[in-house]
Amino acid sequence: MSVPRITTEDGIIGPVDASQVPRWVGEATFARLPRIGDVGRADVAILGVPFDTGVSYRPGARFGPGHIRESSRLLRPYNPDAGVEPFGAQQVVDAGDVAVNPFSIDQAISTIETAARSLLSPADGGIGALLTLGGDHTIALPLLRAVHAVQGPVAVVHFDAHLDTWDTYFGAAYTHGTPFRRASEEGILDQTGCVHVGIRGPLYSADDLRDDKSLGFQVLPASDMEHLGTPGMIEAIAQRVGDRPVYVSVDIDVLDPAFAPGTGTPEAGGLTSRELLAILRSLAHLNLVGADIVEVAPAYDHAQVTGIAAAHVGYELLSALALGKSQRK
């Protein structure tokens, strides 16, 4: 059965019209956007990766994509803070979920990379950018491999409580704590432009920071918010990244547990949701080529607090992509 959707004069098909269909009715695509098969072309695709076999503490992020989509039903077409209609300035679609093997990390990584490459492939009339909903942070590695195949080396702006540049856990090289070490080792990253934002909490030793620096990352810890404030953090990110192609990876635990309790490895002293959204909004001035939102674990969430935060993170990233597209015309 067809449903009434908001459609622009240019033929861009947007969300279900909430003035005609109640928000709680119908399938929960992200922001009630059309499925990829319902449109002829797409600029941006939302891709779910329900995988959490790489976690080292609390599991449950495999249910993150569905939770974020359910929590996105209230998103509206116009973003007043950014001054853009993220679903009207570009064709955004929901590409569904990647069916990954929950028993083999290696096989799952291969499947995720193949799925992302197929969506981004220029030879197949590829989509301009992916916004991926995880899933644990292991998925960032295959996603970066797919982006690298199109863009070459990219700068990474990584929002997280943790570095995720450790070497191994229990001898395993591919986990949610190792994706950016592997990506750096594989030459995927532009090591002159990568930055972590929101890092905090105990480390194993000072070597963690030394190793991280050698892999090409600058660290803007959560404590920098106290003296830099949001404008200072925005400026520091912009100076580090410059005009390089940039991939943004948002672990929801960059937020303080007060704002995102539904995650697997929470750390006290994080960013507020308002601070994070403001920083993400500024990324419209960068050459944003893709993004992910990971580590949402709904079993530990309350009243969709974490899911709503993650949905708004996605909304601001889509807004930044829309503004960036208009600025580059």
| 120-179 pLDDT, tens digit each | 987 666 789 999 999 999 999 999 999 999 999 999 999 999 999 999 999 999 999 999
Render pLDDT for 183-211 as a digit per residue (tens, 0 to 9): 999 999 999 999 999 999 999 999 999 99
Peptide bond preceding 135 in cis form (omega within 30 of 0): yes
Strand partners, 156: 247
Residue 328: its pLDDT value, please?
Answer: 57
Give the pLDDT band of residue 40 (cuts 50, 70, 90): confident
Residue 48: its pLDDT value, please?
Answer: 98
Q: How far apart are CA 154 and CA 81, in angstroms?
A: 27
Render pLDDT for 242-293 as a digit per residue (tens, 0 to 9): 999 999 999 999 999 999 999 999 999 999 999 999 999 999 999 999 999 9
Residue 123: its pLDDT value, please?
Answer: 66
Q: How far is CA 109 from each of CA 105, 173, 216, 251, 256, rounded to the nearest angstrom? A: 6, 12, 23, 18, 29
Give the pLDDT band of residue 58 (cuts 50, 70, 90): very high
pTM over 0.75: yes
Q: Which residues contact 27 (CB under 8 A, 6 or more apart)?
A: none
Residue 4: its pLDDT value, please?
Answer: 86
Render pLDDT for 15-26 as a digit per residue (tens, 0 to 9): 999 999 999 999
Render pLDDT for 69-124 as a digit per residue (tens, 0 to 9): 999 999 999 999 999 999 999 999 999 999 999 999 999 999 999 999 999 987 66
pLDDT at 304 over 90: yes
Give the pLDDT band of residue 329 (cuts 50, 70, 90): low
The answer to whether 196 and 219 are in contact (CB under 8 A) is yes
Q: How far apart are CA 135 and CA 225, in angstroms?
A: 28
Mean pLDDT of the chain, nearest integer: 95
pLDDT at 325 over 90: no
Residue 301: its pLDDT value, please?
Answer: 98
Residue 252: its pLDDT value, please?
Answer: 98
Q: Which residues contact 140 (CB under 8 A, 6 or more apart)?
A: 164, 179, 180, 183, 249, 292, 294
Q: How far apart are CA 158 and CA 249, in angstroms?
A: 5
Between these two residues, 2 and 250, which has the higher pLDDT value? 250
